């Protein structure tokens, strides 16, 4: 698996995926490493993504956690979820 460094500043979304009977997987999504978003616009992005996840398979649960990274440390901004999909379950 490739390794990468998280940005030191900007908004980061941690997307946790849990399929029935399996351990959760966390994927990091970089929303704004350029520093152009604020709490409101970054939260709107997370809400839109959570809405799209409702079409995911029914046996998969998603959690989105928005974090703002600064030189002073990480600050939790928003958590969306758990989101349970409405689509056909994965086999």
Residue 28: inside a domain, yes or no?
yes
Residue 68 belongs to some domain of the structure: yes
In a domain, 6, yes or no: no
> How high is the pLDDT of residue 43?
93
- Residue 33 counted as domain residue: yes
What integer pLDDT is reported at residue 77 of this predicted model?
Answer: 94
Coil/strand/helix, residue 43: helix
Nearest Cα to Cα of residue 68 among 10, 25, 15: 10
Unique residue bearing structure tokens 């996840």: 53
Count of the separate structural domains present in the chain: 1
- Which helix (H) or strand (E) segment holds residue 17: the answer is strand 10-19
pLDDT of residue 3: 54
Domain range spanning residue 53?
12-83
Confidence band (pLDDT; 50, 70, 90) for 16?
Answer: very high
- pLDDT of 70 reads 84
Q: Let me know if residue 39 belongs to a domain.
A: yes
The alpha-helical segments, DSSP class H, found in 20-79 are 39-52
Q: pLDDT tens for residues 24-73?
A: 999 887 778 677 889 999 999 899 999 999 998 999 999 999 999 888 88
In a domain, 2, yes or no: no
């Amino acid at each position: 698996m490739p390794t990468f460094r998280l940005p030191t500043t900007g908004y980061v979304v941690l997307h946790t995926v849990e399929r029935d009977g399996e351990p959760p997987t966390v994927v990091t999504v970089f929303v704004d490493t350029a520093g152009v978003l604020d709490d409101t616009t970054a939260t709107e992005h997370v809400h839109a993504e959570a809405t799209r996840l409702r079409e995911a398979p029914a046996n998969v649960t998603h959690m989105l956690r928005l974090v703002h990274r600064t030189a002073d440390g990480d600050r939790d901004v928003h958590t969306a979820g758990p989101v349970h999909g409405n689509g056909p379950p994965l086999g």
